[in-house]
Amino acid sequence: MLAYLLCIAVLSGKYVEGSFGPFNQTYDYVTVREGAHMFYWMFYTTADVATYTDRPLIVWLQGGPGGSSTGIGNFEILGPLDLRLQERNHTWVKNFNVMFLDNPVGTGFSYVDDLRYLTTTNDQIALDFVEVMKGFYRNNPEFEGVPLYIYGQSYGGKMAVDMAIRMREAEEAGTIRSNLKGIAMGNAWISPVDSTLTWGPLLLAAGLVDQQGYENIQRAARAAERLFNEGRYVESTAQWAATQREVFGATTNVDFYDILTKMPVPSLPDTRSDYEISRDMMIRDRPYRSPVRQDEVNLNTLMNTEVKQALGIPEHVVWSSLSNDVFDYQRGDFMKPVTDGIEKLLNETDIILQKYNGNLDLICSTPGQILWVDRLKWSGAEAYQRAPRNPIWEDNRLEGYYKAHGNFRFFWINVAGHSVPRDNPAGTNAFLRDMTSFG
């Protein structure tokens, strides 16, 4: 096991005291507004380059909302160390500078002075993102002008859309000197009603439910759609959770993040409400088929002991993989789509919009993504529909398919569920290269 190192790292003439692990890194808090303090942790690329600014900066956003990028995204998915504290073979740090951002405020090591400072809308999250990036560039001015890409998984993909809009506005106003080139929406919660309405058809086609189970799921899903159309957004979120209960009952607890497996049946009755069960699952952002190895550390313990001490996190801040308050405060926004924002970016900017999806995912199912993609109103819509769907070959293995036109592209990734970078690193390399030319 690679023991973590408390070291003094020399980074371009600057000193970072109390780093975690043998990798060049920087981290800090930025007060994005009164009472709201956001934490970022960036690892400098290990690529063989003259200077690390020769490679792009990628910001990784976890889902939920309320999932921690510094913990889940870093140690469980694509950071330099895995949960055995061994170097990860497929870490993105090999090709990019990677920032893990605990976002929205209240998530992970980010914190608020009072719950009233939590965000309630996607746009508020985006405005906070602009502020934290301003703070990052103040602390690290060498990254001004370096190509910036935002990669968001699940709800992180939804957040990335409004972040791109607000970042481009700030760039044009001259209030930030970033160079946003593209965003990626990975298994993203872009159009929640579309996703929910496709759970039943996908499970029926896969043979995981019978006709009665399908009808029960669809009845619940259509109720969620009706509540949304009536503007009863909080109630629609509750009905979304009730639809998940119907899925669990019809499939004996299929895993929403990988339909080839199922979640464990509790040995004792689960006293949580449908909403609480669904909320905790969305924040967890990890398929149950990912076994916990005996040599893995407990993430919650790691983050609240060695990592917290090494990074100098304030004593009163407790890292948690379940930021329930963050999720609860977003309930009114949870079921709202961000397709209007995607159309705005496609029609008014040159920002690359990349959509990738693991084909084993249920919560953000590929059929649900295709529904909203096909409805997009943008200048290249017809040309995109006519564009060929090409195979993705990596080392003589078919890893999926892609389709692209202009600054929009869609990647179907095989043998992957909700978290494509963890499930299929080879397929991941394909869409990283497509957007950044590295990977």
List active site positions. Answer: 154, 361, 418
Cβ 38 vs Cβ 110: under 8 Å: yes
Cβ 297 vs Cβ 3: under 8 Å: no
Q: 349: buried, middle or exposed (CB in 10 Å: 19+, 13-18, 0-12)?
A: middle
For residue 336, what are the CA distances in angstroms to 123, 231, 368, 437?
Answer: 12, 10, 14, 33
Cβ 226 vs Cβ 397: under 8 Å: no
Dig out the tokens for 296 from the structure.
């893995």
For residue 356, what are the CA distances in angstroms to 44, 88, 157, 248, 335?
Answer: 25, 22, 10, 26, 20
How does strand 352-358 pair with strand 408-413? parallel
Place of tokens 């090591």: 109
Cβ 227 vs Cβ 336: under 8 Å: no
The total of other beta-carbon atoms located within 10 Å of residue 92's CB is 26
The total of other beta-carbon atoms located within 10 Å of residue 169's CB is 13
The total of other beta-carbon atoms located within 10 Å of residue 266's CB is 10
Distance of CA 155 to the CA centre of its chain: 6
Strand partners, 402: 390, 411
As a whole number of angstroms, the distance between CA 322 and CA 257 comes to 17
Crossing angle between the packed helical segments 122-139 and 155-173, to the nearest 10 degrees: 60
As a whole number of angstroms, the distance between CA 103 and CA 133 comes to 12
